[in-house]
Structure 1
Amino acid sequence: MLHVMPNRVEKLSLLSEMIAFAKSDTELKTIEYNFLLGVAKQLEISREDFDYLIEHPINSIHLKSHSERIVQFHRLVLLMHIDQERTQEEVAKLYNYGLRMGLNHESITRVLYLMEGFPDMMVPAEVLIDIFKVQYN
């Protein structure tokens, strides 16, 4: 499978979505900020651009690559658990986010269910990818 890295606009969009996801319950907590800053570095987004996005969100762009959508969903799963506070509202929001990205609802449900069995509810990336691969084939 050909894996194409997202372009700069797509990267900024991904980060903006994650910031919005983190901010929806309250203001951005320090632990969430640091996690998101780490994602920004991974995506080669400067701290200045990252800080700008916090105050000025941009419209989301639908990722074409199925694998990129899975990676983004995994980032959101990690983000949801970073502050150790998980509400039903957050889980529902994550579920709906996955659906909007075009991910399979059975796979999303399975990931959310399996989270309970992992330490700190962190689903390993390879497990998550396998779940989505099964549905994608």
Structure 2
Amino acid sequence: MITYKEKLSLLGDMIELSRVDGKVHDREYEFIKMVAEELNVRETDFEELFSLPNELLVFKSEFKRIEHFYRLALLTHCDHHHHEREHEFMHQLGLKLGLNPFSIKRVLAEMEKSPTGMIEPDLLLSIFTEQHN
């Protein structure tokens, strides 16, 4: 179960990522707001996140860190404008989350190849688990 603090951290990371190219695009804002609603985050807390500095919260579970990374990676595709700084941000974030750098690179490449910007959950997990050996 994700705590309220973890929910706010996820949204804060999403906001930080959406600002990488200098502007929060309308599609990015709507996507983040939709996630906030799904997570049952109060609207006042959500709006306040845009004016607060973001603090990265690293999850203990590798699965949660992968899930967090993937959610943020999806955001890079929702505005249909892929900026190089977004790619660099995602790579650095993945490293901060303690994820394997080769897996990070491969996931981002697979998402780029996909017409929808999404990859199957099984493929996502297999990319990270194959690096364990």
Normalising by structure 1, report the TM-score: 0.86
Aligned residue runs from structure 1 range 27-42, under 5 A: 27-42=23-38
Q: Which residue of 2 aligns with 1:50?
A: 46
Q: Which residue of 1 aligns with 2:17?
A: 21
- Once the two structures are TM-superposed, the CA of residue 136 in structure 1 deviates from its matched residue by 4.1
Q: Which residue of 2 aligns with 1:115?
A: 111
Could you list the runs of 5+ residues in structure 1 that have no partner in the other structure? none
Structure 1 vs Structure 2 CA RMSD: 1.7
Distance 1:96 1:76 in 2: 12
- Once the two structures are TM-superposed, the CA of residue 120 in structure 1 deviates from its matched residue by 3.1
The residue identity in structure 2 corresponding to 1:26 is G
Deviation sequence 1:70-123 (CA, Å, 0-9, x none): 111111111001111112222111111101100111111111222232113322
Aligned residue runs from structure 1 range 1-137, under 5 A: 5-136=1-132
- Once the two structures are TM-superposed, the CA of residue 22 in structure 1 deviates from its matched residue by 0.6
The verdict on how the C-alpha distance between 1:33 and 1:109 changes in structure 2, with shifts beyond 3 A counting, is: same
Distance 1:57 1:47 in 2: 18
Could you list the runs of 5+ residues in structure 2 that have no partner in the other structure? none
Distance 2:54 2:113 in 1: 35
Deviation sequence 1:48-91 (CA, Å, 0-9, x none): 21111112234222111111111111111110011111122221
> Residue 74 of structure 1 contacts residue 125 of structure 1 at CA under 8 Å; is this kept in 2?
no
